[in-house]
Chain A
Amino acid sequence: MTILWSILILGGLGLVFGIGLVLFGVLFHVEEDERIKEVEKMLPNYNCGACGYAGCHQMAENLVSGNEPMVSKCKPGKKDKNFDPIIAYLSSHPDKDGTVHVPK
């Protein structure tokens, strides 16, 4: 009985908070550069924070905006699996005003 209750309560709480967060996410949606999403997909997505940013998303933001010139700050990333595709993607997708930020 205890097991059932704990599963029900924690599951229910998770469900309620999850739905609440989805609603908040839709309500406070911020339009972002679509390249950020693509770069984030190419990072390892461990969200380990070893690069010094809060997670892979923030790292991707800074790579795209050119604030972060070193893609190799990503510790778990592999050169051929993560870094090379990101460099290739960012060199072929310039900013709106035409500048290309290619990380190393």
Chain B
Amino acid sequence: MNYLAAFVMAIISYALIDNVVLSRFYGICSFIGVGNKVKSSLCMGAAVSFVIVMAAAICYPLYNFLLVPAGVAYLDTIAAILVIACLVMVVGLVMKKFLPSLYQSLGIYLPLITTNCAVLGVVSENIASNLDFGMAMANAVGTSLGFTLVIFLYACIRVRLEASATPKAFKGIPIALVVASLMAMAFMGLQGIGV
């Protein structure tokens, strides 16, 4: 029971308090790039979530039962990148087959999940802070929930922003960055939750 409570608390903490985009500043590229349409932002969130959770689930046994016993723990980063790249390829193949229009609309940002630092960040954080498998998964699930939530909110704001009168110099990305910073400040307020 205690562990379950800790698990849920860890998810909330990773999703809201230590939000991956707004307080750790990981994964900004796809956040800015895809966060302009609500539908594609949700799909991007789903794709990134799948990659994060699977990468964390695969890298944990890979590190603890293969790299460490063999005495080559320093290979963690390159092994994680291998796993992530492979997962992204799988997501791309599946999406191309079943959701071709979505595949087109995500465009370059889909293969770019490979270099999305949110994914590698979760994996190497799990290794660096010596989390056990449950907590590693809590980190992965919380981070991906946080990413999806924030990119979705951001897309909703940006859709309304396009309809509003912004100064000409701020049209497009500049005002979007201002919005992102305001969101980051708003999320700072959640640090008072104190899990």
Give the size category of A's interface with B: 20 to 34
Which 9 pairs, one residue from A and one from B, show the smallest C-beta to C-beta distance? A28-B97, A54-B108, A17-B86, A5-B70, A28-B93, A6-B72, A54-B111, A5-B72, A24-B93
A residues whose Cβ falls under 8 Å from a Cβ of B: 1-2, 5-6, 9-10, 13-14, 17, 20-21, 24-25, 28-30, 49, 52-55, 58
A-B contact count (CB 8 A): 56
**A9 touching B72 by the CB < 8 A rule?**
yes
Count how many chain B residues have C-beta atoms less than 8 Å from C-beta atoms of the other chain: 24
**Chain B: interface secondary structure?**
helix
B residues whose Cβ falls under 8 Å from a Cβ of A: 62, 66-67, 70-72, 75, 78-79, 82-83, 86, 89-90, 93-94, 96-97, 100, 107-108, 110-112
In the complex, A25 Cα to B89 Cα: how many Å? 9
**A20 touching B86 by the CB < 8 A rule?**
yes
The residue in chain A whose Cβ has the minimal distance to the Cβ of B97 is A28
The residue in chain A whose Cβ has the minimal distance to the Cβ of B89 is A21
Least Cβ–Cβ distance between B92 and chain A, in angstroms: 9
In the complex, A5 Cα to B193 Cα: how many Å? 46
**B79 touching A13 by the CB < 8 A rule?**
yes
B100 neighbours in A (Cβ, 8 Å): 30
**A6 touching B107 by the CB < 8 A rule?**
no
A10 neighbours in B (Cβ, 8 Å): 75, 78-79, 82
A49 neighbours in B (Cβ, 8 Å): 108
In the complex, A9 Cα to B90 Cα: how many Å? 22
Least Cβ–Cβ distance between B37 and chain A, in angstroms: 18
**A28 touching B107 by the CB < 8 A rule?**
no
**A2 touching B72 by the CB < 8 A rule?**
yes
B62 neighbours in A (Cβ, 8 Å): 13
Least Cβ–Cβ distance between B114 and chain A, in angstroms: 11
The residue in chain A whose Cβ has the minimal distance to the Cβ of B95 is A28
Least Cβ–Cβ distance between A54 and chain B, in angstroms: 4
B107 neighbours in A (Cβ, 8 Å): 53-54, 58
A54 neighbours in B (Cβ, 8 Å): 107-108, 110-112
